[in-house]
Structure 1
């Protein structure tokens, strides 16, 4: 986390551990506001990798699952980075920095070092620079039914696009529309305090878990260290949200990803679900799931989890479709708490 920004947030009662804002003193109230009001969230728990140089686009096009040529300073894209066997090493959001046309990849901060190191292995003679820019930009999220109006009021001379994954340029930064009621501001450490204070007049500060919950409810996958190489892109619905191009050329794992799409039924998908348990229970990415049709053999895995405003925990879980159809799915053991499957904002059929 940027040192100056860390100081700024701690002076505003932020409780921070390992570059992550846990809360601002009232975690339950902050989560409740996510469901009924407008929230302002620091996003330092997300890392940022910059790809620059004249060969950056061609290099990334040959490494990632998304169509990098469709990404520019006005349009972001979800995407994935796979092993040659088609297993995801990471998933991300990518856009171009309007200031120099370099590419910015946003993903969980715990993955930045390993992802950057692996991608550097394949640069060879290409004119590409790969850098950890996590602390070079301040990123904050604003969400709620009034999010767009609040942004427009704070940035009156800029027309913020409300189209999902649209990127709007602002003074010393950019705004990304994640969804109709959720936006992200990317800016400098100089501009960030002023924007934060203006937005905070009409919003409630909230911890990183609130952003996690919003991502989960929108069905946006995240790959963590615990789930690396467990899923192909279709298992986490990357193909549905535009994170896989089936018209571009080769990239690591492309043959397997394409064969799965065209020749075989996708046997596992990512589902949104709720667990009616105490949110203090240690539910985490990588936890196994069990169904009545598979007995003591796991039928799925937790991909992401966060406390829900009304209690319990909401999760994204990759599960065998046949197991979901067959009956109840349980956490950790066949006799463990049962998942209540919820509708995603998009169709997986």
Structure 2
């Protein structure tokens, strides 16, 4: 779904998974600094929006997702996962309940599969789930923003900022009143800096929650009754996920950023060494320079100097081995 904000001056369309919104609006680092200072907004209108209503909505979702939501207070934001039967991450949900409705936003293009799964699990529960992507657009306001929220708009507030479920028809007028607009490159650079994983970027077909640090933030260890729980419990008890997420400081002399999937090796082994992992997301940060997240084997030494493609990299621990 193409955002109307791509008509703003300087807007350059994003590609790949973020197609449909702007990569930037002409000044990447200025946009990043605006977000870091608590001003501006990010157009996330390409993300999927699912709405769940009905008296049983929270108790029903509680049985299907990894988070404890059966008694979720109105207005409290949380995040959760849907796992496969083998415990691999299938969906990432960012949700809030307003007392009558549970609002969920998900990665672009994944809402159809998620809704199909939810519909297949309704049984006798008093719930209705609907894809409302055509009606609502997600807008992100950074922490510290003093931008107003229109009456009646659902808000998901976290320490990182606020997600607004804005009526899509109001997107252009809201943008005109609450600039500057910040593109996905700026938003993603701050996400990488904060070590926050993203479905489809830090995940592949065999990712489990422990590898990315989703335990606690998206997985509640004191609840059961969800698909994939056995794998979560086994890895938690054994303490040995096969891979771990790391943050990388990249050599700033390289012109090009390493793309998703670029091999990570020990620097001492050179370009022909054994692959230990791969880059998941890379970015140019307004203060840190080139940075990246990568998924590497659990037993790689914490002090090991790494090589990303042909670029030297120093690792910072995100998930303890």
Equivalent residues of 2:304, 2:315 under 8 A apart: no
Q: Does 1:133 align with 2:132?
A: yes
Quote the offset at 1:72 in angstroms.
4.0
Using a 3 Å threshold, how does the CA distance of structure 1 residues 288 and 55 change in structure 2: closer, same or farther?
farther
- How many angstroms apart in 1 are the aligned matches of 2:265 and 2:285? 22
Q: Does 1:327 align with 2:307?
A: no
For the residue of structure 1 that corresponds to 2:220, the secondary structure is coil
- How many angstroms apart in 2 are the aligned matches of 1:223 and 1:89? 8
- How many angstroms apart in 1 are the aligned matches of 2:38 and 2:274? 42
Q: Corresponding residue for 1:300?
A: 277
1:25-64 equivalent positions in 2, closer than 5 A = 25-35=26-36, 38-64=39-65
For the residue of structure 2 that corresponds to 1:172, the secondary structure is coil
Using a 3 Å threshold, how does the CA distance of structure 1 residues 174 and 87 change in structure 2: closer, same or farther?
same
Q: Corresponding residue for 1:238?
A: 214
TM-score if structure 2 supplies the norm length?
0.82
Q: Corresponding residue for 2:314?
A: 340
For the residue of structure 2 that corresponds to 1:227, the secondary structure is coil
Q: Does 1:176 align with 2:156?
A: yes
- How many angstroms apart in 2 are the aligned matches of 1:224 and 1:239? 18
Equivalent residues of 1:87, 1:230 under 8 A apart: yes
40-49 vs 135-144, which moves further: 135-144
Q: C-alpha deviations, 1:247-293, integer Å up to 9, x for none?
A: 11221110110111123334532222232365754512x44433369
Q: Corresponding residue for 1:313?
A: 290
Equivalent residues of 1:279, 1:313 under 8 A apart: no
TM-score if structure 1 supplies the norm length?
0.76
Q: Does 1:227 align with 2:224?
A: no
For the residue of structure 2 that corresponds to 1:109, the secondary structure is coil
Unaligned runs of 5+ in 2: none
Q: Corresponding residue for 2:266?
A: 291
One of 178, 196, 212 as aligned partner of 1:199: 178
For the residue of structure 2 that corresponds to 1:171, the secondary structure is coil
- How many angstroms apart in 2 are the aligned matches of 1:104 and 1:81? 16
Quote the offset at 1:227 in angstroms.
3.2
Using a 3 Å threshold, how does the CA distance of structure 1 residues 304 and 45 change in structure 2: closer, same or farther?
farther
Quote the offset at 1:191 in angstroms.
4.6
Q: Does 1:274 align with 2:260?
A: no
- How many angstroms apart in 2 are the aligned matches of 1:210 and 1:11? 16
- How many angstroms apart in 2 are the aligned matches of 1:89 and 1:279? 34
Quote the offset at 1:10 in angstroms.
1.2
